[in-house]
Amino acid sequence: MEFTITQPAIQWFIKELDLSEGDNVRFFARVGGCSTVQSGYSLGISKEDPVEAGETFESDGITFFIENKDLWYFKDHDLKIKYSRKYDEISYDYTEQE
């Protein structure tokens, strides 16, 4: 799986989660909501340290990660997190791996 975050999205996370260098942000599967990759689940975020990171993306001194136990959620998909200036929010772009 490829896991990327655009620079505008990183700046959104820094502002919204009051992040600074050395912080960690976890993306995890949570029950409820909707997604295009897992019915009945959605992607949650929290500011916490990794236990067993399966995928990581580092930028601006911040580590964004997905724990090994949550990789099932992506089921053969890559994740690109982008920021929408129009809506002032992030979006998750899932693409099937080739």
pLDDT for 1: 86
pLDDT for 9: 97
pLDDT one-digit tens code per residue, 1-53: 899 999 999 999 999 999 999 999 999 988 666 666 666 668 899 999 999 99
pLDDT for 36: 65
pLDDT at 55 over 80: yes
Report in angstroms the alpha-carbon separations of 15 from 36, 42, 73, 88: 27, 22, 27, 12
Domain limits, the chain = 3-96
Q: How far apart are CA 45 and CA 92, in angstroms?
A: 12
Q: In what order do the strands lie in the sheet with 24-31?
A: 41-47, 24-31, 62-67, 53-59
Quick one: tokens of 94? Answer: 């899932």
For the whole model, what pTM was predicted?
0.89
Q: How far apart are CA 53 and CA 68, in angstroms?
A: 6
Region 73-93: what's the mean pLDDT? 91
Region 64-86: what's the mean pLDDT? 92
CATH number of 3-96: 2.60.300.12
Region 66-78: what's the mean pLDDT? 91
